[in-house]
Amino acid sequence: MSSSGFKFTLLVPLMVACLMASSASNFHNDFDITWGNGRGKIVNNGEVLTLSLDKASGSGFQSKNEYLFGKIDMQLKLVPGNSAGTVTAYYLSSKGSTWDEIDFEFLGNLSGDPYILHTNVFSQGKGNREQQFYLWFDPTADFHTYSILWNPQRIIFSVDGTPIREFKNMESFGVPFPKNQPMRIYSSLWNADDWATRGGLVKTDWTQAPFTASYRNFNADACVWSNGASSCKSNASPSSASTNSAWFSQEMDSAKQQRLKWVQKNYMIYNYCNDAKRFPQGLPPECNMS
């Protein structure tokens, strides 16, 4: 190998590491507020983003970048007090009729009643994979970290580093997996009182408006998709991954698996895989896999 070729092989992993590592969070650099007519705001020199909802409108934002695999972290502080009827959605999604999507949705509730954390995974336009949880803390009192690990083998939803859900790649069993469509990060705060709280029985109390959710400390160790190519193109093999990209082949160790079981035993309130009435033709195939 020539000296120039040797230098290139050294440079490529360094370049990939630089492309994959996210800079210090600044919402001005990473996101655009896309709707809400001023109800979405970036404050504190770009360190905090807030979304608000009143009777006229909600608000929302999206990432400037598209990603194809990554570990995405965001700290959220949810709407406090009587948040019944409101939904704060934070998710990854592609476009088109056969889109992919990885969802966190926070369903508001009456004061003193717990939020419901609603999760879902869409692949090739098909969802119906809902799992819902209560949280083991008050998500309105302080910021907490909500994370999505998305690599070619699995998707792991985590809260403050504790995994709450894993969706594995089971393409070998005919289950589509999001792996080909780059996705943006989206978030919105909106009124969904036709269904969000107790199936729509509890309506939004507009005397409590405006409702506000806050965001900070965004981080993306991820493959950025731009002009039809991934910043991680030369890093397809996990063996060549930098320390910043350990997520690319990450799986749960035994301690994380135990935490996942703890959450699902104590805080899961709905699992589509246990809803036989909903699937009279049989449960989805991934429900029958370990």
Residues involved in catalysis: 101, 105
Q: Give the phi and the psi of residue 247 in degrees, each rounded to 5.
A: -60, -25
- Two tokens, residue 26: 């600044």
* Inter-residue contact 32 to 185 (CB < 8 Å): no
Total Cβ atoms within 10 A of residue 11: 10
At a CB cut-off of 8 Å and minimum separation 6, what does 185 contact? 31, 62, 63, 67, 72, 74, 90, 91, 92, 220
Q: For residue 9, what are the CA distances in angstroms to 14, 27, 222?
A: 9, 34, 21
Query: By the 8 A CB rule, do 216 and 142 touch?
Result: no
DSSP code string of 259-284: HHHHHHHHTEEEEGGG-GGG-TT---
Task: Find the DSSP H helices in the chain.
Answer: 3-20, 27-30, 254-266
